[in-house]
Amino acid sequence: MSKVLLIDDDVELTMLLQEYLTEEGYDVATDTDGRAAIAAAAANTVDIIVLDIMMPRMNGIEVLQRIRKLSEIPVLMLTARGDDIDRISGLNLGADDYVPKPCSPGELAARLRAILRRTHQPAGASIDAVKAGQLVIHPGKRSAEWCGEPLELTGTEFGLLEVLARNAGQLVSKQDISKQAFGKPLTPFDRRIDVHISSVRQKLGLRKDGQSWIQSVRGLGYQLLVD
């Protein structure tokens, strides 16, 4: 049973989501203070955190920033509908996904399942390493190495980079990346792939020629270079 921590000061919505997710088989704890999420991340007591951006005392962006200094635990953000700035800020800081409010309990449950599926390797899954140039991906351990050093990635970044590594040297469409890494088709105007790619690029650094290791073809997709 996956443990979910739901942080939101909207008590009515929180109760609704908690009841639904419990019926879906999750062990759900709730709180109205973002500091509870920071403590849970530090103690590693939950499997995933659902975090509202607009909260008193400490907003969700600040909470996420502090969590990422402590842990790579999956975080799903709840954002105001249409507020792209909050969504992009959250993704840039390492959020795994976001759901605009008001959201249906069914949509939230589906997003949680998708995140947990790609961040928790199922028993019996292949543990063969995937090598692409200086990059080594260990699917069984959900870890990666770059130029012989550990590469710190969020669960979503790991899934995305694994797809590119398995197709190193080849152009992978955004639609294929979304289906393989996120478990769902890409929707119009969805920028989460671009934001996560930007974060991974920063972590890989630049090639000797000053170019990124991950090349983009406008409107088509991305390609991981191996030499």
Look at residue 221 in the predicted model and tell me its pLDDT.
Answer: 93
Long-range CB pairs of 84-91, under 8 A, 24+ apart, other chains included: 84/191, 86/53, 86/61, 87/191, 87/192, 88/191, 88/195, 89/61, 90/53, 90/60, 90/61, 90/64, 91/192, 91/195, 91/196, 91/199
34, 60 contact by CB (below 8 A) = yes
Q: Is the domain of 98 the same as that of 197?
A: no
> Would you state the pLDDT for residue 83?
64
Give the residue ranges of the chain where pLDDT is below 70: 81-83, 120-127
Q: Is residue 124 part of a domain?
A: no
Position 123 scores a pLDDT of: 43
Average predicted confidence (pLDDT) for the chain: 87
| Final residue belonging to a domain, choices 65, 99, 119 | 119
Tell me the two tokens of residue 120: 């928790």
Do residues 210 and 143 both lie within one domain?
A: yes
State whether 184 and 164 are in the same domain. yes
Q: Which helix (H) or strand (E) holds 31?
A: strand 27-31
What does residue 220 show for φ and ψ, rounded to 5 degrees?
A: -115, -55
State the total domains in the chain.
2
Residue of 131, 202, 190 whose CA lies nearest to 162:
131
Residue 152 and residue 189 in one domain: yes
Residue finishing a domain among 68, 97, 119: 119
What pLDDT, on a 0 to 100 scale, did the predictor assign at position 179?
A: 83
User: What's the CA gap between 84 and 86, in Å, rounded?
Assistant: 6
| Count of alpha carbons within 13 angstroms of residue 188, beta-carbon side | 0
181 located within any domain: yes
Residue 125 domain-assigned?
A: no
Q: Are residues 115 and 7 in the same domain?
A: yes
The residue out of 94, 119, 144 marking a domain boundary is 119
CATH number reported for the structural domain that contains residue 148 in this entry:
1.10.10.10
Looking at residue 191, its pLDDT comes to 81
In a domain, 210, yes or no: yes
In a domain, 170, yes or no: yes
152 occurs within a structural domain: yes
Residues 171 and 145 placed together within one structural domain of the fold: yes
Is 200 contained in some domain?
Answer: yes
**pLDDT on residue 15:** 92
Give the domain extent around 26: 3-119
Helix/strand/coil for 22: helix
CATH code, domain carrying 45: 3.40.50.2300
For residues 48 and 151, state if they share a domain. Answer: no
